[in-house]
């Protein structure tokens, strides 16, 4: 439980003007849209359970290291990126998504995103990246992008698995 082995770290190097309000809004909308980003896991009486929390305000950690000399700034950015990747998640209390924005100078940033593998895999990560990109592009233009409704919810998979087990499929 206190391991970073299942962390999925990623980062984007951003050059140019950054709209931090659009960035926050885009992540907020992703969290509201995708139940997996609001899910926690816990154990009760020896049974593993999940809880999907109601949407809450997204927290963007911001670190401004622009006052450091260039070489030191780059080394510090690498150290922060590695620290974020190794920091374990608390599955019981969540959240299982961590986003940090590093400001390297006025028009250079690094966006560090780390998720726990229990809420995302390669396929879903690509969906999240695509949707975030579209939401952000729309938000910086002062528009609100309406994404198509999701055909399935995260909880649907759990229901299917319970039905599969109840029907004895695991015995085969």
**CA distance readout (Å), 104 to 9, 11, 67, 69:** 19, 14, 8, 10
78-89 confidence digits (pLDDT tens): 999 999 999 999
User: pTM value?
Assistant: 0.85
- Give the fold, CATH level 3, of 7-171: Chloramphenicol Acetyltransferase (3.30.559)
Under 8 Å between Cβ of 96 and 37: yes
Mapping DSSP to helix (H, G, I), strand (E, B) and coil, where does residue 113 land?
strand
H-type alpha helices, 48-172: 70-86, 122-140, 154-166
Start-to-end C-alpha separation, the chain = 31
7-65 confidence digits (pLDDT tens): 999 999 999 999 999 999 999 999 999 999 999 999 999 999 999 999 999 999 999 99
């Amino acid at each position: 439980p206190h391991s970073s082995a299942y962390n999925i770290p990623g980062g984007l190097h951003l050059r140019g003007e950054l709209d931090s309000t659009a960035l926050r809004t885009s992540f907020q909308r992703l969290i509201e849209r995708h139940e997996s980003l609001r899910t926690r896991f816990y154990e009760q009486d020896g049974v593993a359970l999940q809880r999907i929390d109601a949407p809450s305000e997204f927290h963007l950690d911001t670190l401004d290291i622009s006052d450091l000399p260039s070489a030191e700034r780059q080394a510090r950015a690498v150290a922060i990126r590695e620290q974020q990747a190794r920091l374990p998640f608390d599955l019981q209390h969540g959240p299982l998504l961590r986003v940090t924005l590093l400001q390297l100078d006025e028009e250079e940033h690094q966006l560090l995103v780390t998720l726990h593998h229990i809420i995302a895999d390669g396929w879903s990560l690509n969906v999240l990246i695509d949707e975030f990109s579209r939401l952000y592009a729309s938000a910086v233009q002062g528009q609100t992008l309406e994404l198509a409704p999701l055909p399935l919810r995260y909880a649907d998979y759990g229901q299917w698995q319970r039905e599969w087990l109840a029907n004895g499929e695991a015995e085969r």
